[in-house]
Homo-oligomer: A and B are copies of this chain.
Amino acid sequence: MPRESSAEERMTAVAQAHTAFRHVRTSTSDERSRWLVGIAEALEEHRSALVAVADEETALGAGRLNGELDRTIHQLHHFGDVIAQEKHRRAIDQPGDPDASPQPRPSLRQMRVPLGPVAVWGASNFPFAFGVFGGDTASALAAGCPVIAVEHPGHPRTSELLAEIAQGALGECDALRGTFALLAGRATGASLIADAQVKAGAFTGSYAGGRALFDIANSRPDPIPFFAEMGSVNPVFITRQAVRQRGREIAQGLVDSATLGVGQFCTKPGLVFVSDGVDFVTMVEDRVANVAPAPMLTDSIAANYRQRRSEMMHNSAARATFANASSADESEGSAAVLVIDHKALKESWSVLSEECFGPLMVIVTCDSDSHLVDWAQQTPGSLTATIHASGDDPNDRATVNLLVDELQDSAGRIIFNGWPTGVAVSEAMHHGGPHPATMNPIFTSVGAQAIDRFLKPVTMQGFPDELIPLWLRGGTPLA
């Protein structure tokens, strides 16, 4: 049975977060920057214990988990830098202008302030980078919002160890108790997002889970912003010319990307449209047949994968190829590829166009590049879309332009001649996209812009400089 916090634990966490917020909201960005760095250093210090317990719980392996912890630590330092420079305040100063038209203008000084306590749900597939101390928690704390995190039942001990380390580090930086708390359980989460003292929510996980919490957040007497990142099919479009020039390399790259981490990435390429690709499909099938089965995050995730895979096979006209399925045990996922002609896709669309969490991809064979563009109009909202084409060929350049026109509507990131797995934490990154990839296409959950989700503007009108509190200053004059 997954752990479930008591109502008392939940109410205590919320009350302490509310009290902490009344202090955190007037903390300087410098102070909070020190908290983030303090936590980053504490995570580094406990690296071996963290990786060991996470590996026991998720079977992701020490190599991958160490890399993920690197990224998590890097992210805390990066957010610390961003806020120390006060960039996130987006301050705008406009001195008063008695001669402004159509009427005199008072002095206006805009800056961003934190929303209040934020509830965060950790994901199953990245216990560090998207877990209870991942990007959502780091960006909310950077903004100045206390966090009440809800652990994923797939790795409770990892979550508890993370919470213990972070709370220790926060305590050493003199942050108030209540700045970060950890809770557990589905009913607890539902009550948490309905609590009047919680002012925003952030979630990474399944569509069903994200939607349920989103619906509660929006049906409150006072609706609150709720950000959910829920994965997607991440379509891939491969032109005839690309297949001719680099078919073998693309086939290998696709199988590597789709089976990376046993297909448990929200950016896994799951729906591939290829033009004139009979040989290409054979290459992919051959490679998939040789992918070794590997343990998935939890037994129930492995069981869900098998169920979804068989639903996709039995309710569509696709031809299926498996990796040595017989050798896989209950906890393992074995790779699979479903192949369908684009003319047969319409009838199987509803079952094949939804995400399958695991090492499965659907390949749609098209007769020509123009079909790629037709299907690009249909694909559902995704975190990413990928194009493989020849950058030199004039026809391909025209196809790429048409694909970009369509895909900007449905994808948060468009990749040229690369693969969507692996999301750099950097200023220009966007990790988001239209529904059903997220519940709000305007925001990202990776990179420093993620901090913007937990801030709101306030304009101070007619205030003399000395009456604007110290913690609100640090603005840049308007150019």
Residues of A within 8 A of B (CB): 25-26, 67, 70-71, 74, 92-94, 100-103, 105-106, 108-110, 113, 115-116, 214-215, 218-219, 222-225, 381, 391, 397, 400-401, 404-405, 408-409, 411-418, 422, 424, 426-430, 432, 434-436, 439-442, 444, 449, 452-453, 455-464, 466-469, 472, 478
Contacts and interface: CB of A to CB of B under 8 A. Distances in A.
Nearest to A108: B428
15 contacts: A110-B429, A110-B430, A115-B441, A222-B436, A223-B439, A225-B441, A225-B442, A397-B467, A404-B472, A412-B457, A412-B458, A416-B467, A417-B462, A428-B478, A444-B457
A430 to B, nearest CB: 4
Given A408-B472, A414-B460, A430-B458, 20 more contacts: A26-B405, A70-B102, A74-B101, A103-B424, A105-B426, A106-B424, A108-B426, A110-B429, A214-B218, A223-B439, A225-B441, A404-B460, A404-B469, A412-B458, A413-B459, A416-B467, A418-B462, A442-B452, A444-B457, A449-B457
A108 B446 CA distance: 14
Contacts of A70: 102
A457 B432 contact: yes
A230 to B, nearest CB: 12
A51 to B, nearest CB: 15
Nearest to A470: B401
A429 B430 CA distance: 27
A120 to B, nearest CB: 17
Tally of this chain's copies = 2
A456 B437 CA distance: 13
A198 to B, nearest CB: 13
A383 to B, nearest CB: 10
A222 B463 CA distance: 43
Given A113-B408, A218-B218, A430-B459, A74 B94 contact: no
Given A214-B223, A223-B435, A458-B408, A106 B426 contact: no
Contacts of A100: 424
B478 A427 contact: yes
A118 to B, nearest CB: 13
Contacts of A397: 466-467
Contacts of A417: 462
A397 B414 CA distance: 52
Contact of A428 (B93, B440, B467): B93
A219 B25 CA distance: 33
A294 to B, nearest CB: 22
Contact of A109 (B412, B428, B441, B467): B428
With most chain B CB atoms within 10 A of its CB, the pick from A404, A457, A467 is: A457
Contacts of A110: 427-430
Contacts of A415: 106, 461-462
Contacts of A461: 413-416, 418
Nearest to A386: B461
Contacts of A418: 106, 461-462
A391 B107 CA distance: 15
A358 B219 CA distance: 29
Contacts of A435: 222-224
